[in-house]
Amino acid sequence: MATHDFDLFVIGAGSGGVRASRIAASLGARVAVAEERYLGGTCVNVGCIPKKLFYYASDFGEGFDDAAGFGWTSEPRSHNWKKLIENKDREIARLNGVYERLLKDSGVTILDGRAQLLDAHTVAINGMRYRARYILVATGSWPVMPATPGIEHAISSNEAFHLDAMPQRAVLVGGGYIAVEFAGIFHGLGAHVTLVHRGPLPLTGFDYDLRAVLADEMRKRGVNLRLNRTVERIEKTAMGIRATLMNGDTLDADLIMYATGRRPNTRGFGLENAGVEVNSTGAVAVDEYSRTSVENIYAIGDCTDRIMLTPVAIAEGNAVAQTLFGPRPMKIDYQNVPSTVFSHPNVSTVGLTEEAARKRFAKIDVYKSSFRPLKHTLSGRDEKTFMKMVVDAATERVAGCHMVGPDAGEIMQGLALALRLGAKKSDFDATIGIHPTAAEEFMTMRQKSPEPASA
C-alpha cells in the first residue's frame, strides 16, 4: 500500500517547477504541483515572454526610422498601447492554457493555492494535507524595492506589464538586466527615458567594454543616463511624480520603475517547519544536486542562490527529476551559461569577461571588432556593433565571447555550444563565415588587442 499521496510534490509552477513535474511524471512518478498565482511563473507572466513582446513592439519604432533610407515612407506613425497590452494578455492567457494542458497530459495533479510545508513530508494546501516522498521548492523570486522615502509611488517590473497608459516620461532605477531592457522598451515606444544607476556603468559584472559600448549606444539613442547617482526620495506632484537624487537634482516623470534586483521567494512556505536551511541572502541553501539541508527536499531556480535565468531553472528542474526518478543522479554544469540582455541594442555574452580571464589565466589574448552594421549604411543610423573574444593564451581555448549589437543573443547561442565543446581560436579561424552577416566577424578576428600595459 502506498504510504505517500505523491512521489513528488512541487511548490511553484514556474519554468523550473513545471519542467521538473513533467519529467518526473514521464519517469513514472505520481506528481502534484501547487501554484498560488499563475501557471508559467515569472517568465511567462511578468518576465521573459511579455518583455520580449514589448521589446519587439519598441523595436518597430527604430525599424520605421531605419526604413526611410531604404525608400519607405511610414508617416504618420502612432502606437496604440492598449492594443499591445490586449494582444500580449491574450498570448499570455494562451500560454497559461498550454502549460495547464502540458501538465495535465503528463498526468500531473495541479493544485491552485499557496502550499505550506508542515514537516519534511507533509504539505498543506486549501485545507487539505498531502504526504509526499520528495518535495521540490520552486517558488521563484520577487522584485526588491529599497526603503527609499516615497517608494510607494514607484512600480516594479510586475506592474510594468499592466500599465493603463504608456508613460511619456519614465525614470528607471537600477542598472541591471531589467532596467536597461525597460529603458529601451519605453524609449522605443516614444517616452523620454532617464536611467538612474548607482554605479559608473550599467550591467555590473559584464565585460567592461560591453558596458561602455552599451552606455554609448543608449546615450546616442537619447536615453538620459544618470550614472553614479541614487534616488533620495520620491514625491507625487501636480504633474506626476518627482525623484530627487542624492545630489539634489530632480527628475519629473509619469512613471518611476525600480529594477533593483530580485529576492528569493522563500518566506511563508513553512520551510522552517521542515528544517530547510535558508542562507544569509534568504535563498534556499542547496548542494550540487539541488538538495536542501533536508534529505528529501530539493530546491531549484530563483529561490536558490545560483543563476537567476529561466533556462537554468529548467535545467535544474530536469536534473532533479532525473536524479530522483531517472537512471542516475544528474547535476548542472554552470560554466559557460550564455545570457542576453534585450536592451537596445542587445548585449549578449558567454564565458569569462576579460577581467575574469586575466585573473584566471597567466596570459590571455583579446580580440575586438567594432563596425557599422551593413543595414545602417543605408538607414543612416549611427550605431556600432561590437564583438570581443577572450582566449586563454596557453591552451588557445576561447574563454569568452561578448557582443553588443542586433541579434546578439541569436549569435551567442551557437557560440555557447562552441565554448562548451572547448573550441580553440584556431577552430573559429578555420570555420567559414556566412556572408554578409555580423556573426561571421567572430570567425575572422585576426588582430590581437595590445596588452593593457603597452596600450
Q: Catalytic residue numbers?
A: 435
Minimum distance, C-beta of residue 176 to ligand NDP, in the bound complex (Å): 2
Those residues whose C-beta lies under 8 Å from the C-beta of residue 49, and which sit 6 or more positions away, are: 40, 43, 91, 92, 95
The residue among 168 and 204 lying less far from ligand NDP, judged by its C-beta, is 204
Residue 282 interacts with ligand NDP (CB under 6 A): yes or no: no
Residue 177 interacts with ligand NDP (CB under 6 A): yes or no: yes
d(CA 118, CA 123): 6
Residue 341 interacts with ligand NDP (CB under 6 A): yes or no: yes
d(CA 157, CA 297): 30
Binding mask 198-237 for ligand NDP (x = CB under 6 A): xx----x-------------------------x-------
User: Which of 176, 264, 345, 373 touches ligand NDP (CB under 6 A)?
Assistant: 176
User: Which of 18, 57, 172, 259 touches ligand NDP (CB under 6 A)?
Assistant: 259
Minimum distance, C-beta of residue 411 to ligand NDP, in the bound complex (Å): 15
d(CA 46, CA 30): 30
Residue 311 interacts with ligand NDP (CB under 6 A): yes or no: no
Closest Cα partner for 217 from 228, 199, 203, 198? 203
Beta bridge partners of 197: 227
Minimum distance, C-beta of residue 98 to ligand NDP, in the bound complex (Å): 21
Which range, of 25-33, 256-264, 422-430, 437-445, touches ligand NDP by CB under 6 A?
256-264
d(CA 422, CA 7): 39
Minimum distance, C-beta of residue 297 to ligand NDP, in the bound complex (Å): 24
Which range, of 65-73, 285-293, 336-344, 369-377, touches ligand NDP by CB under 6 A?
336-344
Residue 244 interacts with ligand NDP (CB under 6 A): yes or no: no
In the chain, the amino acid numbered 427 is: D
User: Which of 139, 194, 322, 339 touches ligand NDP (CB under 6 A)?
Assistant: 339
Residue 140 interacts with ligand NDP (CB under 6 A): yes or no: no
Which range, of 32-40, 266-274, 334-342, 375-383, touches ligand NDP by CB under 6 A?
334-342
User: Which of 16, 41, 140, 175 touches ligand NDP (CB under 6 A)?
Assistant: 175
The residue among 5 and 302 lying less far from ligand NDP, judged by its C-beta, is 302
Residue 342 interacts with ligand NDP (CB under 6 A): yes or no: yes
**Residue 198, class by beta-carbon neighbours within 10 Å (0-12 exposed, 13-18 middle, 19+ buried)?**
middle
The residue among 146 and 422 lying less far from ligand NDP, judged by its C-beta, is 146
d(CA 67, CA 380): 10
Count, residues in the chain: 455
Residue least distant from ligand NDP (Cβ): 176
Residue 403 interacts with ligand NDP (CB under 6 A): yes or no: no
User: Which of 8, 271, 308, 411 touches ligand NDP (CB under 6 A)?
Assistant: 308
Which range, of 30-38, 195-203, 211-219, 246-254, touches ligand NDP by CB under 6 A?
195-203
By rule CB under 6 A, what count of residues binds ligand NDP? 23
The residue among 24 and 341 lying less far from ligand NDP, judged by its C-beta, is 341
User: Which of 261, 270, 282, 326 touches ligand NDP (CB under 6 A)?
Assistant: 261
Minimum distance, C-beta of residue 423 to ligand NDP, in the bound complex (Å): 23
In the chain, the amino acid numbered 21 is: S
Which range, of 26-34, 177-185, 249-257, 370-378, touches ligand NDP by CB under 6 A?
177-185
Minimum distance, C-beta of residue 199 to ligand NDP, in the bound complex (Å): 4
Q: Give me the residues that bind ligand NDP (CB under 6 A), please.
A: 146, 174-179, 181, 197-199, 204, 230, 259-262, 308-309, 339-342
